[in-house]
Structure 1
Amino acid sequence: MKKGLYLLIFLMAFSACQSVEETKKPDDLIAEDKMVEVLTEISIMTSARNFNKRKFESLGIKPENYIYEKFGIDSLQFERSNAFYAANYMQYENIYRQVKENLQGMKDEMDSLREVERKLNDSILAAEEELDSLQVDSLRIKSDSLKFEQDRKLDSLINPRSIEIQ
């Protein structure tokens, strides 16, 4: 019984092993640096589409077609190139590392722009608050000066002869 079980496991393992053909380099292979750009753009488009799918659908935007037109490639060329690079693990890992670096660089740039915009908005708000306080202070000064003028007029109405000198 044990021999039959071992024989069955051996036959299953042997039949599961198959020769894997190496992916041949396509004639129209997309260059590695261009592939990085294409995959970066695909990542951005996928994120945008997932963020607001209805907007994409209502505008009739087809991200794949946009990317193919932008980079002057077709879907078959992309698929063959992607399959070739995927079969070469180290090269594919390098491509995706560069894609990740590109996306991180874009994120860092957007974060710095947001920070500049935040500081600018804070400065505008502070300037508006300062302007409002200056306007209130100037109104207070004007009202104080009017009060002073009124006090002087009252004093000038007093008859100087009626003041007793001690």
Structure 2
Amino acid sequence: MKKVVSLFVLGMLFFSCNKDLVEKPDDLVDKKMMVDIFYDMSILDAVKYQNPNVLYENGINPKTYIFKKYKVDSLRFAKSNAYYAADYKEYKKMFDDLNNRLKKEKDAVDLINKKNEKKETALKKAKGKKIQDSIKNLQKQKELKIKKEKDSAAQAKKKKSLLVKKEKDSISKTKTEKSLKPKK
């Protein structure tokens, strides 16, 4: 008798597992749209945690925004979500699709960020090189200015020595002329 009751209970459990746990709603949101809704919710949640003021400043309430965007009310969404959640395997597939989509988006954003970092690094190097070149140019200009000053000082000294020499020559010439002149 115990075996018969046990078999009966097992049979009932087997047949009851085939019956839907949650009744399919009349206005069921299709799976693709549910995945899109979950995707947008994930993005808005990420924004909310990264920079909560952005949503507030723009007057965006994530749930009402999504419901308006997909023309779904909260009750329809809740019933559809409960229906899909009742079938674990299908619900998991939906979230696996969602995770794959988020991963692709993350990879794309990471690639863009890497490119931007490379550009910034290249700009910093170019700017650093430009600054170094500017410093070198200033040093060269200072060196040239110092060299010109030295050269002009040397030339001035040379001119002065030439003037002094000319003056000495003219003085000696005058003395020589005076000495050569007959005395009266």
TM-score, length-scaled by structure 1: 0.74
Say which structure, 1 or 2, has more relative contact order (CA 8 Å, 6+ apart).
1
User: For each residue in 1:10-54, what CA deviation from the matched residue of structure 2 results, as whole angstroms up to 9, or x when unmatched?
Assistant: xxxxxxx8x676222222111111111101111222333344556
Give the Cα separation in 2 of the matches to 1:134 and 1:48.
43
Structure-to-structure mapping, 1:27-66, within 5 angstroms: 27-53=26-52, 56=55, 60-66=59-65
Aligned-partner residue type, residue 68 of structure 2: E
Give the Cα separation in 1 of the matches to 2:99 and 2:112.
20
Structure-to-structure mapping, 1:13-162, within 5 angstroms: 22=20, 23-53=22-52, 56=55, 60-156=59-155, 157-158=157-158, 159=161
Displacement of 1:132:
0.9
Displacement of 1:95:
0.3
Displacement of 1:152:
2.8
- Between 149-158 and 53-62, the greater mean CA deviation after superposition: 53-62
Change (3 A) 1:138 1:95: same
Displacement of 1:55:
6.0
Aligned length: 150
Displacement of 1:133:
0.7
Displacement of 1:149:
2.2
Change (3 A) 1:151 1:55: closer
Could you tell me the percent identity over the aligned residues?
25
Segments of 5+ residues of structure 1 without an aligned counterpart are: 1-16
Aligned-partner residue type, residue 103 of structure 1: L
Q: Find the structure with the greater CA-based Rg.
A: 2
- Between 122-131 and 59-68, the greater mean CA deviation after superposition: 59-68
Give the Cα separation in 1 of the matches to 2:151 and 2:48.
74
Give the Cα separation in 1 of the matches to 2:52 and 2:137.
54
Displacement of 1:58:
6.7
User: For each residue in 1:43-91, what CA deviation from the matched residue of structure 2 results, as whole angstroms up to 9, or x when unmatched?
Assistant: 2223333445566557653211111001111111111111111112221
User: For each residue in 1:115-146, what CA deviation from the matched residue of structure 2 results, as whole angstroms up to 9, or x when unmatched?
Assistant: 12222221221121111111111111112222
CA RMSD, Structure 1 to Structure 2 (Å): 3.1
Counterpart residue number, 1:10: none
- Between 52-61 and 36-45, the greater mean CA deviation after superposition: 52-61
